[in-house]
Amino acid sequence: MIINCLVKYACVAVCLLCCPNPISTQNVDPSFHGIIPAPNEKVFASGDLSDIMDLKIYLKEEDKSAYLISLVKSIKNASFVTLEKANLIPLIDHKTGAESYLLDILKDKIDIKAGDKAGLQYALVSLSQMVIHGGYPLPIVKLKDSPKFKYRGMHLDVARHFFSVSDVKKYLDYMAYYKFNQFHWHLTDDQGWRIEIKKYPKLQEIGAYRNETLIGHYNDQPHKFDGKRYGGFYTQEEVKEIVSYATVRNIEIIPEIEMPGHALAALAAYPEFGCENKKYEVATKWGVFEDVFCPNEVTFRFLEDVIDEVINLFPGRYIHIGGDECPKSVWKKSAFCQELIRKNSLKDEEGLQNYFITRMEKYINSKGKQIIGWDEIMEGGLAPNATVMSWRGIEGGLAAARANHDAIMTPGTHCYFDHYQSESAKEPLAIGGYTSIEKVYDWEPIPEKLAADKSKYILGGQSNLWSEYIREYSGVEYMVYARGLAMAEALWSKQKNYADFLQRYEKHYDYWKTKGANIAYHLYELKPKIIAGKGNPVTVSFVLPNNSNVIHTVNGKLGVNITSGEETKIATPGTHTFQAVNGEKKGSPLDINFDLHLATGAILTMNPEPSKQYYGNGPGSIINGVKGSNEKYGGSEWLGFNGKDCTGVLDFGKDVVVSDITFRFFKGEGQWIYLPKKAAVFSSDDGVVFTLVSSTEEITAETKVSTIDISLKDIRTRYLKFEISNYGIIPDGAQGAGHGAWLFVDEVVVMGK
């Protein structure tokens, strides 16, 4: 046995020495390059490998940066050498294009031509990923690469929870490794002011600290607090240090100084900038507060002074002024504000917000800078030169682009990394919602309905991480590092392939784990597609990663395994367990309890349909026999209706006897989710003329999830119609005041004989 092994190894050694290309085309993994985001053009030379087993790099001193030096040090068998000893001599040629590069790996050397220093950095990052995630010898390959979008951003909120200078640097390192170029730094809010302003020292002495912090979720009642003073801020020297750190990584920092709303921390320090004569305190819980800046000359002078110091710290072109979630109730009560509206012929308080934003934009423009604001800055009109950051869906970005204004797309549906990334009950506490890595990957920043000649105004997009429920940087890693890989490719790569991405993702996941990062891993966590409402039995299917399949058991008894995309009928009620398996890799078992009832086999018609943000697996999600989470309104079971009623018609296909109908609703007023006003049920024999059977009084409940049961007294009918009335407009003083309430509906259970 030992002799046979020695003979085998000797033969392999001879082959490696004698054969110039020992690995054939079919043995080269399509994702061998291991690069994220995927290069836009790559040509492998018949699957051949080079002879390159090290990187000897010659780089002119003026082209070196602290980041490139550290990057090269992190690559196995890589070093800077003299010109004579180099096998890699990068060249900067501006004709190549901004942020672009050509990377040509030949038999015994590597050629790099970059359009600028950013392109050079990206070329070396790609090369380092090939070594780290693919290893030596490098493949013979030509890469021609440039970004799909010029704005590729990541956001970090440090106002709700504060992160150290070293934490922010880790974030910037992550961004550089995946070719992001814009860091949106959210520095001020109701819960803390995080940047030193020398002219106004109380901002950091008072505004940077709160007396205590909310424990648990905002929706948990009653609210509980930890009783511990919390806060911190960055000195101007620390800001300069971070800006310098970002600059050598070709990352521009966009500071956000919130106005006119989200101003409570500033008002706690300087109450004279509010419209009311009262004591303000830094907020100890999350949400939106009525305390906003008063648009008088004293306030504008203060904000201009703040902007002056901020501009001196940040060399980039943009200043983000917030502009979102600004309640108008204080302005409505203020005699000064009402006189200002009259004096300037403004239509209303929204016009006053436009007056506020436009005035600050004019001042910021006079300093050679441009403003960015959240899409609420369009209320009452858009400031002349403003760039819109569209977060409440895509409509803000569409409107801006159609008006020839630049827009950055960051809709909550795909870009909010403070949302849950798994439906597992073991996930760390998050604000709500559900944004999987696949959903991020599939996102396209340019809306389909935008005319082609206006698409140039969509600069790109960014991920957002709000830190209400993230106390430590390990939480940032968990929420960002996995989905950030998908976002990088969504913003850079012109052609995407999710299956190929998953193979590269596995390599990068292993890399971050070896570095001790708390990166999430949900690839083998099943995301069921449960279909109902078509007049057929309920079916379940899965899209499976990397050729895995699903082991299926029913009430503890092994069933037939499921392949990717295969629809399996659910005929037996009870607990169905599903588990993804791919060789030795296994996902966590997924238990789904199917409680089949009359409606699960009916045809469901809904008008209007659920909001696209919370569409689940379509309208049939509310009659598929599966109840959603009692803690989370995201995922595939809860359907959301934004400012609209929930109305549906069930066709049972024949006359049935119906005894009662049960509805489930989610309540989360901190996220603008309200119980409905009432519910009513109607019956019909022909599906045209409906007769009221029963209705509820006003619906009230204190718990997150409430169940409303309506007795139908064994009526015989073919059609059943339900009408669930939306709460309407959120009242003053509440989170989201003035906006339409969300209505979330889960299972509609119909029981009968």
Which active-site residues does the annotation give?
Answer: 189, 262, 325
Q: How far apart are CA 749 and CA 594, in angstroms?
A: 12
The 3-class secondary structure across 52-95, one letter per residue, is CCCEEECCCHHHCCHHHHHHHHCCCCEEECCHHHCCECCEECHH
The 3-class secondary structure across 604-622, one letter per residue, is EEECCCCCHHHCCCCHHHH
Instruction: List C-alpha distances in Å: 22 to 15, 17, 42, 104, 548.
Output: 7, 9, 22, 21, 30
Q: Tell me the residue type at 470.
A: I
CB 303 within 8 A of CB 342: no
Q: How far apart are CA 570 and CA 572, in angstroms?
A: 6
Measure CA 26 to chain center. 37
Strands 646-666 and 603-606: antiparallel
CB 429 within 8 A of CB 376: no
For residue 594, give both structure tokens.
């199917």
Which one-letter DSSP state was computed for residue 731? Answer: P
Query: 10 Å Cβ neighbour count for 580?
Result: 24
> Backbone dihedral region of 609: left (phi > 0), alpha (psi from -120 to 50 degrees) or beta?
beta
Sequence-distant (≥ 6) Cβ neighbours of residue 524 within 8 angstroms: 545, 548, 580, 582, 585, 586, 587, 588
For residue 179, give both structure tokens.
């070719």
Q: How far apart are CA 288 and CA 294, in angstroms?
A: 16
Long-range contacts: 709-712, Cβ < 8 Å, 24+?
A: 709/660, 709/661, 709/662, 710/660, 710/661, 710/662, 710/663, 710/679, 710/681, 711/659, 711/660, 712/658, 712/659, 712/660, 712/661, 712/681, 712/683
> Backbone dihedral region of 197: left (phi > 0), alpha (psi from -120 to 50 degrees) or beta?
beta
Q: Which residue has the tokens 């409906």?
A: 690
